[in-house]
Amino acid sequence: MGVIEELGLGVIGYKVGDRVLVGAITPCGQCRACLYGHLSQCGHGDGDEALGGWRFGNTIDGAQAEYLLVPPAQANLAKIPDELTDEQVVLLSDIASTGISGAEAARVRIGDTVVVFAQGPIGLCATAGAKLMGASLIIGVDGDETRLAMARRMGADVVLDYRALDVVAEVRRLTGGGADVAIEALGTQQTFESALRSLRPAGTLSSLGVYSGKLQTPYDAFFRRTRRSPQRHHARSRWERADATTAEPGSIRTFRSNSAHHPPLLAGGYSPCLPALRRTFGWCPKDRDQTVAHGTDPAAARENSLA
C-alpha cells in the first residue's frame, strides 16, 4: 500500500499521487500461467514457473523500504477508493487475499458445506471468503477461544475447538457424511490430514498452509470404511453393506495468494472486521530485525511486540 511517486512508461490509468494497493504476489499478467488465472505460478512473460509470481521478499529485496519499484505495474496496481482508510485495506495485499483465494481455489458453490482448519488471520479470511461465495454451512476449527469468537464474526455458523472433541467425526456428523470443501490454513501434517478426512467423497481440499517439512498424504484417507444405518425394509442388506469400502477420490488444490483483491470486497460488511485482525506495534530501530507477528493471539503478540 502506498502512493505513486513516479510512473513507468506505458502504465496507463494511474497518476502520480494516487493511493494504490499492490499484492504480495506480483504476476506479469501476460504469460500462459497468468492468462489461465494461475497468477502465483507466473512465468515472467512466458510459460509458467512454480511460485514465479512471488517476487517481493523472494527475488526482489526492499519491500519494506520507503520507496518500492513495482514490477509489471499495469498488472499489479489497484486504486484505493477515497472512502476506505489505510487500516481497512492493508490486509488485502496478502493476508485477506490469501485467505479468500483459499475459497476461490476450492470453487465453493452456493449451498456448499465448508470446514476451515485453523482460524488465524488467513483462516479467518478463508472463512469470510467461503461466506462471500455462498456456502450454507461454514465450520471454523481452532483451539483458541478468541479466534473461535472472531470466526463467528467472519461468517462461521459453527465453531469447533479441537481440544474438546473429535473434529473430524463432528464435521462428518454436521455435514451428513463429510464437507464439500475443507480449507487448510495452518500448514501442519495434523491439520492437512484432518482436512482430508473431513471431506465427503469427491470433496475438495484447498491447502493454504506453508508446510515447512515433508508432507505425507495418507492413502487410507481416500478410502472410508462405512457402516450404513439400519433400514427397516432392508435388514439383511444392512449386513451385506457393512464395512464396505468406499473410494473417496477427493481433489486437492494448493494455492498461495495472488494479486491484491478488490477493495470493493470491503463493502460486503467485513470492513469493520479486517482492522480487528491487524495489530499495531510501536517501532524501535534497535529491534529492527525482530519479526512482527500479525495475529489474534495476545500472548504471541506481546512476545513479538517491538514496542
Choices 29-37, 187-195, 214-222, 231-239 (CB under 5 A): range interacting with Zn ion: 29-37
Q: Supply the minimum distance, in Å, between the C-beta of residue 38 and Zn ion.
A: 9
3-class SS shares of the chain: helix, strand, coil, % to 5: 35, 20, 50
Q: Supply the minimum distance, in Å, between the C-beta of residue 33 and Zn ion.
A: 5
Among 20, 22, 24, 31, binds Zn ion (CB under 5 A): 31
Please give the size of the binding site for Zn ion, defined by CB under 5 A.
5
Integer Rg of the chain from CA: 22
| 42 versus 78: smaller Cβ distance to Zn ion | 42
**With contact defined as beta carbons under 8 Å apart, do 173 and 150 qualify?**
no
Among 22, 28, 78, 183, binds Zn ion (CB under 5 A): 28
| 34 versus 205: smaller Cβ distance to Zn ion | 34
Q: Supply the minimum distance, in Å, between the C-beta of residue 258 and Zn ion.
A: 11
Query: Under the criterion CB under 5 A, does residue 71 sit at the interface with Zn ion?
Result: no
Q: For cell 499495531, what's the residue?
A: 280
| 50 versus 267: smaller Cβ distance to Zn ion | 50
- For 9, 39, 60, 216, 230, the CA distances from 245, given in Å and listed in that order, are 62, 39, 50, 22, 17
| 44 versus 131: smaller Cβ distance to Zn ion | 44
Query: Under the criterion CB under 5 A, does residue 75 sit at the interface with Zn ion?
Result: no
| 27 versus 209: smaller Cβ distance to Zn ion | 27
| 51 versus 202: smaller Cβ distance to Zn ion | 51
- Reduce the secondary structure of 128-187 to three states and give it as a string: HHHHHCCCCEEEEEECCHHHHHHHHHCCCCEEEECCCCCHHHHHHHHHCCCEEEEEECCC
Provide the 8-state DSSP code for 283. Answer: -
Q: For cell 477420490, what's the residue?
A: 249
Window 37 to 56, contacts with Zn ion (CB under 5 A): 42
What is the length of the chain? 307
Residues that bind Zn ion (CB under 5 A): 27-28, 31, 34, 42
